[in-house]
Amino acid sequence: MPDFFERLNYSFGNEDWRTEQQALNIQPQDTVLCITASGDRPLHLLLNDCKELISIDANPIQNYLLSLKRAAMQAFDFPNYLNFLEGRLENQASDSLHKLLPFMDGDAAHYWMHQASMLDKGILFQGHIERIFKHVSMLFRCLRPKKVKRLFEFENLEEQRKFLHAEWDTLFLRKLFVFALNPIFPRVFFNDPGLFAHVDSTIQVGAYIYDRMLQCLQGCLASENAFVSLMFQGALKKDFYPPYLTAKGTEVIKPRLDKIKIKTENVINYLKRVPDRTFDAFSLSDIASYMSKESFDELMQAVYRTAKPGARFCIRQFSSNHQIPIHLKPYFQRDINLEKKLEAEDYFFVYRFLTGEIFVPEHEMFQSKNKMTRGDLQAIAS
């Protein structure tokens, strides 16, 4: 199987777009850093206007996907844009792709020219993880067909809660989650040895996800939750598509697409080259779960150096539970109440959050300005 950085891992966002809106409060003058992943999150960040959005990923194929989604939104009207992503246009790959090529860089265009079968199927659910979800959902429907069908029929939240308590929450289902999310399985079936490499020792992943799912479904209908729908149905109703797949959402996002600058690079290496005090907001999900404590500490140091005073940060973590390094804690002013609120409300219930603002002392701002001045003088002299 291809390496993790040589395949399309994610094609549909496994995050709740509302969370970043609350945590980052992006303003028109802001410069934002975001991890690309499926491309959904950088597109959703444009629901709020900004000055520039740097979307970065070490996997070039994830960036090619963002380039494809952006190009499709630029080239098509909304019905054809959605039909293209879903694989519903006639001559999907051959005719449609040629309309997108002027909107993509050479590397992305070259990649998609050789992916006709993936495009013909509809790119939205062709990622490695999405295809795994499809198989997992088939397993659940085979083992518990009536209960899965019933779960998605509820239109009343109180009735769903009673069903979850009386019929859904069984020892068998809990054990199935624990078995399926044993750390051995991501290596064997996901071909993803890094996902649980830095797992928080205080949690049992399967039980943790199962409990968080039950908690989430106390506050939202299963039919309206994209993550639950993918897990048990392998698909999502159009009525509950996220904003970048709706006419209203694309109307807001489309005029701002030129704000996105795509970078293919390790985020730590990139930040080491960026000038001091560059960014107003950081959307970092879920790279922490793939990092050792040492690498995470290095990332936080780079974030601190490149943050403008008052910069906001939103860090999602699934299997890991890294904390802000001790020497940086005075500068990362976490909003604990907001973190708890986001963990309780986020529809993609597996995540824990670090969010808040970054404080930069005045003497460090003075040093940064002097450093930039010296650099400018050297550039002029050369």
pLDDT greater than 70 at residue 90: yes
Tokens of 199: 């797992």
Q: Sheet of 260-264: strands edge to edge?
A: 260-264, 52-57, 31-35, 279-284, 307-317, 352-358, 332-334
Determine the straight-line distance between the first and last CA of the chain, rounded to whole angstroms: 49
When pLDDT is averaged across residues 347-358 and rounded to a whole number, the result is 94
**Residue-wise DSSP of 132-171:** HHHHHHHHHHHHSHHHHHHHTT---HHHHHHHIIIII--H
pLDDT greater than 70 at residue 379: no
141 or 250: whose pLDDT is higher?
A: 250
For the packed helices 106-113 and 60-75, what is the interaxial angle rounded to 10 degrees? 90
Q: Binning pLDDT at 50, 70 and 90, where does residue 199 land?
A: low
CATH superfamily of 17-125+243-362: Vaccinia Virus protein VP39 (3.40.50.150)
Give the pLDDT of residue 38.
Answer: 95
Q: Binning pLDDT at 50, 70 and 90, where does residue 177 land?
A: confident
pLDDT greater than 70 at residue 207: yes
Supply the mean pLDDT for the chain: 88
Asked which of 121-135, 272-286, 358-372 is least confident by mean pLDDT, the reply is 358-372
Cα-only R_g, the chain: 22
Contact, 272 vs 266, CB < 8 A? no
Which one, of 83, 122, 119, lies nearest residue 101 by Cα? 119
Give the pLDDT of residue 378.
Answer: 42
Contact, 268 vs 167, CB < 8 A? no
Q: What are phi and psi of 293, to 5 degrees?
A: -60, -40
Q: Which residues of 52-66 are buried (b: 16+ CB within 10 A; e: fewer)?
A: ebbbbbbbbbbbbbb
Q: Binning pLDDT at 50, 70 and 90, where does residue 17 land?
A: very high
Give the pLDDT of residue 319.
Answer: 78
Give the pLDDT of residue 2.
Answer: 45
Tens of pLDDT, residue by residue over 48-69, are 999 999 999 999 999 999 999 9
pLDDT greater than 60 at residue 187: no
Classify residue 94 by its DSSP letter. Answer: I
pLDDT greater than 70 at residue 322: yes
Contact, 62 vs 40, CB < 8 A? no
Which amino acid makes up residue 218? Q
Contact, 328 vs 354, CB < 8 A? no
Give the pLDDT of residue 197.
Answer: 54
Tens of pLDDT, residue by residue over 142-166, are 888 999 999 999 999 999 999 999 9
Q: What are phi and psi of 56, to 5 degrees?
A: -125, 140
Cβ neighbours for 273, distance < 8 A, ≥ 6 positions apart: none
Give the pLDDT of residue 3.
Answer: 61
When pLDDT is averaged across residues 82-102 and rounded to a whole number, the result is 87
pTM: 0.88
When pLDDT is averaged across residues 194-207 and rounded to a whole number, the result is 62
Return the domain boundaries, the chain.
17-125+243-362, 128-234
Which one, of 314, 307, 308, lies nearest residue 284 by Cα? 314
pLDDT greater than 60 at residue 373: no
